[in-house]
Structure 1
Amino acid sequence: MRAAVLTHFGAPLTVREVPEPEARGGEVVVEVLAAAVAPYAAEVFGGERNYPLVPPVVPGIGGVGRVVQAGPDATRLRPGDLVWCDTTVRSRDDALTPDITLQGWSSRGEGGARLARYFHDGAYAELMRVPTENVFPLPAAAGEAPARWAALGLHVIPYGGLLAGGLAAGETLLVSGATGNLGSNAVALAFAMGAGRVVAPGRNETALGLLADRFGPRLRPVRLTGDEAGDRAAMSGAANGPIDMVIDLLPPSAPSSAARTAAMTVREYGRVVLMGGVGMLGGADLALPYPWLMRNSVTVRGQWMYPRTANVGIIRLLASGALDLAPERVRSFGLDAVNEAVAHAAAHRGPFDRTVLTPALH
């Protein structure tokens, strides 16, 4: 089969023939119809993000595909089934604190690295081998537009954060990083889950305008200036009431002060969920004040990725139409154009811009 291979960091991906995977017990082989190209993929492949990928590797973060072969312990999956392949692979020998690898993308700790050595290759290939528990049936509608449905992988991440924070219908959410690709997904998801209003701070006025045009008066845009006190007052004022929850999805390039300013708008007994990359490339710590946290009974939670059940939930939101993918701008690339796709994703990283690789579609 053909696959796009990262031979070493800083080099373009190379499309070449590689051995076809085979499903063993607890595994499924899927023909990859569409896989999202993350806006920061070029930073990963260039080595700027210091991800623990071990070249040579087929990268790629999950995908839409059809089952080719299922292991002997699969009881419901059949060849030809249309499915979503979740990139978040968990070890099976510790239910309480499983090791995690993002197949073809990243991992956590030595245990995650061991897992990555086995589930090494990701979705930028005609075929992909994944754990059975990472394969989720999709509705027939996804087969009509697999490239559009590939955005599922970019929505399920903030969805996991909203679930972790317990976002409830009617609540006010502040999305720190709302003008970015993942942040704008969090905005769309919050409304799909019934949020009363969403405060969307950012520096990009064009992106703020796109959000306001799509979601109307329940979306409260705030243009940030970099002044902590002034920005905090502006965000609090835009909410027109208490902010129940803050989710942070800022990238590694953002200063910790931006995350802190947003977090400290939350009400007493409010919740803050941290999912972004602040501090991953160095810089100052978040430094939330101890007295403020304690006396306001604020809950702060870190959340990396999402639980398995989030895949089922996000598919339901999409299938029901509660989360609408129609307004999104999708650009598809064949496997041979993988480097063009990576460059396109880097140049189109704003709200609802999607870049997709279609390995098995010729």
Structure 2
Amino acid sequence: MKAAVLEEFGKPLSVCEVPAPELGTGEVLVDVVAAGVLPYAAEVFRGERNYLLTLPVVPGAGAVGRVRATGPDATRLEPGDWVLCDPTIRSRDDALTPDITLQGLSARGDGGVFLQRRFGHGSYAEQVLVPTENAIPLGPVEPADAGRWAALTVCLVPYGGLLAADLRPGETVLVSGATGNFGGAAVAVALAMGAACVVAPGRNETALADLERRFGARVRTVRLTGDDDTERLRRAAPGPIDVVLDLLPPSAGTAPVRAAAMTVREYGRVVLMGGVGMLGGDDLALPYPWLMRNNITLRGQWLAPRTANASLIALARAGLLDLDQFAVTEFGLADITAALDHAAGTTTRFALTVVRP
């Protein structure tokens, strides 16, 4: 089969013939129809993010495709079914603290690297092999719309954070990093889940205006200045802020994270799932007395639980999460370099770069 291969960090991906995956028990082989390209993918492949990734590798985290074959333990999936391929792969021999690899992109610790021996290769290929539980039924999909359904992989990240925050209908959410790729998706997902209001801070006035245009009065934007941001964020909300979700990238400092976190009400919840500090710099400092006396729940969250896939698909099927918000630009596998450049150069929210092998 044809695949894009990363031979070494800093070297362009090469498109070549590689052996097709061999199906085993507990696995599903999927014909890839559309695979999203992350805006920072090129940074990973250049080695700038220091992600754990065993080379050579077929990159690509997540895909939409059709089942080619299943193992003997699959009781419902059948060849031809449309599925969403969840790239978060967990070991099966420790239910409490499983090792995790993010297929085609990264891993957590030595156990995650070990998982890459079987599930390292990702979706920039004609076929991808995933554990059975990572092939989630999508229902009927028009082939031309497969790229838009690939936006679920982006939405799944903030959805995992909002589930971790136990977001309830009618609550107010502050999305720190709302003008970014995952942050913009978080605004859409929070509203789809029933948030009454989303407070969206940022420095890019054009991006903030775009969020207001897309979502109307349920989104309250605030331009960050570094001067009394916490109080101005509080005033922007129609009432107490129940949940803060941080999705800021590694390039951001800790000051906007702290300003956002400290807006949350007494008994409020703060979820951290961005990249701040991953490239060095100051650690996040939150006041112990404030956390304790206000009964604040502070939680870190990496990615989303496996069960989140089905309910996120249901939100999209119901029309609550509008995937038509995403402007999709598609490339063939042979144009993978152009796809990476396009993704890296896209600064607007709800813009998705897709490879169609």
* C-alpha contact (below 8 Å) 2:81/2:139 kept by paired residues: no
Give the Å deviation of 1:144.
4.3
Give the Å deviation of 1:55.
1.4
Normalised TM-score (structure 2): 0.99
Give the Å deviation of 1:207.
0.7
User: 1:96 and 2:96 equivalent?
Assistant: yes
1:298 to 284, 296, 299: 296
Q: In 2, distance between residues paired with 1:349 and 1:333?
A: 18
2:349 matched residue in structure 1 = 351
* C-alpha contact (below 8 Å) 1:57/1:121 kept by paired residues: yes
1:281 matched residue in structure 2 = 279
1:189 matched residue in structure 2 = 189
1:310 matched residue in structure 2 = 308
* C-alpha contact (below 8 Å) 1:21/1:29 kept by paired residues: yes
Number of aligned residue pairs: give it.
Answer: 357
* C-alpha contact (below 8 Å) 1:172/1:196 kept by paired residues: yes
1:76 matched residue in structure 2 = 76
Q: In 2, distance between residues paired with 1:214 and 1:235?
A: 20
Q: Map Cα deviations across residues 272-322 of structure 1 (whole Å, 9 max, x no partner).
A: 000000000000000111011001110000000010010001110111111
2:208 matched residue in structure 1 = 208
User: 1:241 and 2:239 equivalent?
Assistant: yes
Q: Map Cα deviations across residues 187-209 of structure 1 (whole Å, 9 max, x no partner).
A: 00011011010000000111101
Give the Å deviation of 1:240.
2.7
* C-alpha contact (below 8 Å) 1:139/1:319 kept by paired residues: no
Q: How does 1:119-134 map to 2 (within 5 A)?
A: 119-134=119-134
Q: Map Cα deviations across residues 80-128 of structure 1 (whole Å, 9 max, x no partner).
A: 1111110000000001111111111111111111111221100000001
Give the Å deviation of 1:218.
1.2
Q: In 2, distance between residues paired with 1:327 and 1:147?
A: 13
* C-alpha contact (below 8 Å) 1:37/1:341 kept by paired residues: yes
* C-alpha contact (below 8 Å) 1:142/1:149 kept by paired residues: no
2:218 matched residue in structure 1 = 218
Q: In 2, distance between residues paired with 1:212 and 1:345?
A: 24
User: 1:170 and 2:170 equivalent?
Assistant: yes
Q: In 1, distance between residues paired with 2:117 and 2:21?
A: 14
- Taking only aligned residues, the RMSD between alpha carbons, in angstroms, comes to 0.9
Where does structure 1 differ by over 3 angstroms across 4 or more consecutive aligned residues? 141-144
Q: In 2, distance between residues paired with 1:58 and 1:214?
A: 36
Give the Å deviation of 1:139.
2.0
Q: In 1, distance between residues paired with 2:120 and 2:142?
A: 26
Q: In 1, distance between residues paired with 2:89 and 2:192?
A: 27
Q: How does 1:90-169 map to 2 (within 5 A)?
A: 90-141=90-141, 143-169=143-169
Identity of aligned residues (%): 64
Q: In 2, distance between residues paired with 1:59 and 1:313?
A: 27
Structure 2 unaligned segments of length 5 or more: list them.
none
1:340 to 338, 341, 347: 338
1:331 matched residue in structure 2 = 329
2:26 matched residue in structure 1 = 26
* C-alpha contact (below 8 Å) 1:82/1:143 kept by paired residues: no
Give the Å deviation of 1:142.
5.2
* C-alpha contact (below 8 Å) 2:327/2:350 kept by paired residues: yes
Q: Map Cα deviations across residues 241-294 of structure 1 (whole Å, 9 max, x no partner).
A: 110000000000000111111100000100000000000000000011101100
Q: In 2, distance between residues paired with 1:122 and 1:143?
A: 21
Q: In 1, distance between residues paired with 2:238 and 2:293?
A: 23
Give 1:209's aligned amino acid.
Answer: A
